[in-house]
A and B are shown apart, each in its own frame.
Chain A
């Protein structure tokens, strides 16, 4: 802002003679600005900045939050992460999950959004239904998926047996459980992707599509050459947003498998939670949280850098 250089007429009138008091301070743009932002800033500092700083401090301590002694242990929590086999498994699971969840959600969301971007009967019903997955509580979602993928009683295995395929163990199988979680979360987040893509689709000017049609472009060509590029800001937003959320996966794991079977669905945030609230290793958990924080920053910066090249903003 220009608070420092811009003098209001009232201030000028006050003159150098009488302006040295409190009144001048209270009148200044600087003061007014700060007065307006202070309540908000105080809340942000209290509930965001202070916790961030203090968990950083804790990541250098051995701290169980129980006993008053919190010895400083330097980088030992971070060093411990390198040698912890579950951390490397958790990183692997988190990356696999993110690599499947983000494109999966975007593709399903895009498909549904395109399908619903037309005027047919009951379209608002369909749109509401698509978005409803966002309104359903995670607990409900988890319970439904636990039953869908139950090895003995689930519809998924029923469908497989109907198709003559072998029965699967799903959440009981260390090699399959993570994919069930991927399916569960794609389902849960599709509504979000649909809404973002649908609003972006509605913002695409019809005249561009008509011009392309007149130039002889078929529907697929129009979609690829006109629609998709114009959707790129929405795609970048979704990619960044979903990635941040994917790296922080927790609820569905907590509710369905608790990191199991045999750590097959232990992702970083779940492990962090386990270390903090089950094992009372708050220092170590803070170190893991900080590691994840750095990963998210790096990934997001990369996404923005790379994404910018493929993103078209109409002005």
Chain B
């Protein structure tokens, strides 16, 4: 986004969008059907170009790893370019159309089904079968997000999950016992109500309501915990208009509308500050937020369950991928070699310890002293690490997912704002999702 403003600012934004739209296709017309040969890249063979979105400690740790790789592999050069992860797909698309994609790019997992359509994306299915990669050592959720229709399109770059972060002080003040590992959603809802105090503007919990994927995946965790499914197993029909779907939406409705114990954050930007100011009792969030809470004494607990269902305390993860683009076989194999090395256990462990990122490998998580060291650096991370075992499924890996997500976002927000009843919202959304799935 434009960080500075001037009279031409908005014009520039549109101009930028149009230019990007059009430049991409204009360049496409210049002929990039050539599979992978198109790289007019400035890098000589032996040099691979990596686009990553790391800043601060992450950037430092990554640069250290790259230097180590180059030292260990004479003749191999890795040139890195910072690309804001939010914009990475736009930039990659433009570069692909221009015939000079990066060799490796950090791309969000939610883009995977769409990325799989790009013909320059390298199929890693055979690569990850090599014994050295030890593919099954990656968490199930990561492997699911890296795989589209049985084809592996990336290597795990990051993993996270949702758990409940709670304010210990507020629980003590309300005379409530802190959440235990066996807790349930009815308990969560009751706690949220007791933690709410309108006179001091204190809320039991919060929910992000821009109706985007951040809104949606928080709810998907509830749906799974209630024993529900988003889509039918073949991915062709909506399956969330079910008893589980209803239960999950009713939970949200009770807190947001009936009890008014839920702070709604339409901009996705204020909830963390409020929690850090002691205004919110419990947050469903990920490990990335912990460093935002230096002012409160917090604890972390796994997601609540719904009694009487098979869902248990499962949670959702949003892993990201390293994706390789074809710039000729020499560079592809150089890129594969780099990624294999980068995602090995020692490097994974180094990066996690330096940055507080969750380990992408199970063997890292179980390494002696690892979890303790992580938790010492950032209290609460230990729960997020063990919680990775509660990731049992991934969001549907279908190209229509962005559309499905948009429909679900509207459904959830309409219930949270009290504009729809849960059942009516489910019915309407299921109908729209079926239409979207049938449409293309």
A-side residues, CB < 8 A to B, are 47-48, 50-55, 57-58, 63-68, 70, 134-139, 141-143, 146-147, 150-153, 171-174, 177, 188, 192, 241, 244-245, 248-251, 254-263, 269, 272-274, 276-280, 282, 285-286, 289
Identify which of B144-152, B320-328, B411-419 touches chain A.
Answer: B411-419
B209 touches A (CB below 8 Å): yes
B21 touches A (CB below 8 Å): yes
Chain B residues closer than 8 Å to A272, beta-carbon distance: 17
B184 touches A (CB below 8 Å): no
Q: Are B118 and A57 in contact (CB under 8 A)?
A: no
Chain B residues closer than 8 Å to A241, beta-carbon distance: 7
Q: Are B14 and A138 in contact (CB under 8 A)?
A: no
Q: Are A137 and B17 in contact (CB under 8 A)?
A: no
B378 touches A (CB below 8 Å): no
Chain B residues closer than 8 Å to A51, beta-carbon distance: 18-19, 21-23, 26
| B274: contacting residue among A55, A153, A259, CB under 8 A | A153
B2 touches A (CB below 8 Å): yes
Instruction: Tell me the bound Cα distance from A255 to B268 in angstroms.
Output: 9
Q: Are A68 and B402 in contact (CB under 8 A)?
A: no
Instruction: Tell me the bound Cα distance from A86 to B28 in angstroms.
Output: 30
| A255: contacting residue among B1, B25, B414, CB under 8 A | B1
Q: Are A137 and B5 in contact (CB under 8 A)?
A: yes
Instruction: Tell me the bound Cα distance from A137 to B1 in angstroms.
Output: 10
Known contacts A66-B114, A138-B5, A143-B269; A258 and B21 CB within 8 A of each other: no
Q: Kindly state the interface size class of chain B when it binds its partner.
A: 35 or more
| A64: contacting residue among B4, B33, B114, B419, CB under 8 A | B114
Find the B residue at minimum CB distance from A63.
B25
B90 touches A (CB below 8 Å): yes
Instruction: Tell me the bound Cα distance from A192 to B10 in angstroms.
Output: 13
Interface of A is mostly: helix
Further pairs besides A152-B263, A260-B210, A282-B24: 19, Cβ < 8 Å: A51-B26, A53-B22, A55-B22, A65-B24, A142-B267, A143-B269, A153-B201, A177-B266, A258-B210, A259-B211, A260-B209, A262-B211, A262-B410, A262-B417, A273-B17, A274-B406, A276-B21, A278-B402, A286-B22
B431 touches A (CB below 8 Å): no
Beta-carbon contacts under 8 Å, B390-431 to A: 399, 402-403, 406, 410, 413-414, 417, 419
Can you list 10 A-B contacts (CB < 8 A)? A47-B23, A54-B21, A65-B28, A65-B93, A135-B5, A137-B5, A146-B267, A188-B5, A257-B266, A285-B21
Q: Are A64 and B117 in contact (CB under 8 A)?
A: yes
B119 touches A (CB below 8 Å): yes
Chain B residues closer than 8 Å to A278, beta-carbon distance: 402, 406
Chain B residues closer than 8 Å to A152, beta-carbon distance: 201, 203, 263
- A-B pairs with CB below 8 Å: how many? 171
Instruction: Tell me the bound Cα distance from A258 to B209 in angstroms.
Output: 10
Chain A residues closer than 8 Å to B114, beta-carbon distance: 64, 66, 280
Q: Are A52 and B417 in contact (CB under 8 A)?
A: no
Q: Are A261 and B11 in contact (CB under 8 A)?
A: no
Q: Are B18 and A248 in contact (CB under 8 A)?
A: no
For the complex of A and B, the 7 pairs showing the least CB-CB separation, nearest first, are A51-B22, A54-B22, A258-B210, A55-B22, A66-B117, A54-B26, A67-B117
Find the A residue at minimum CB distance from B263.
A152
Q: Are B7 and A138 in contact (CB under 8 A)?
A: no
Interface string of B98-122 (1 = CB under 8 A from A): 0000000000000000110111000
Instruction: Tell me the bound Cα distance from A276 to B19 in angstroms.
Output: 13
Find the B residue at minimum CB distance from A62.
B440
Instruction: Tell me the bound Cα distance from A50 to B26 in angstroms.
Output: 7
Chain B residues closer than 8 Å to A244, beta-carbon distance: 11
Q: Are A50 and B93 in contact (CB under 8 A)?
A: no
Q: Are A251 and B25 in contact (CB under 8 A)?
A: no
Find the A residue at minimum CB distance from B201.
A152
Q: Are B3 and A139 in contact (CB under 8 A)?
A: yes
Q: Are A261 and B266 in contact (CB under 8 A)?
A: yes
Chain B residues closer than 8 Å to A286, beta-carbon distance: 21-22
B97 touches A (CB below 8 Å): yes
Q: Are A66 and B93 in contact (CB under 8 A)?
A: yes
| A171: contacting residue among B6, B22, B266, B403, CB under 8 A | B266
Find the B residue at minimum CB distance from A296.
B14
B357 touches A (CB below 8 Å): no
Find the B residue at minimum CB distance from A274.
B406
Q: Are B209 and A58 in contact (CB under 8 A)?
A: no
Chain A residues closer than 8 Å to B211, beta-carbon distance: 258-262
| A134: contacting residue among B6, B117, B267, CB under 8 A | B6
Q: Are A137 and B13 in contact (CB under 8 A)?
A: no
Instruction: Tell me the bound Cα distance from A285 to B14 in angstroms.
Output: 12
Q: Are B209 and A250 in contact (CB under 8 A)?
A: no
Find the A residue at minimum CB distance from B266.
A171
Known contacts A51-B22, A257-B266, A258-B211; A289 and B17 CB within 8 A of each other: yes
Q: Are A171 and B267 in contact (CB under 8 A)?
A: yes
Instruction: Tell me the bound Cα distance from A199 to B135 in angstroms.
Output: 68
Beta-carbon contacts under 8 Å, B257-276 to A: 263-264, 266-270, 274
Q: Are B115 and A248 in contact (CB under 8 A)?
A: no
Chain A residues closer than 8 Å to B269, beta-carbon distance: 143, 146
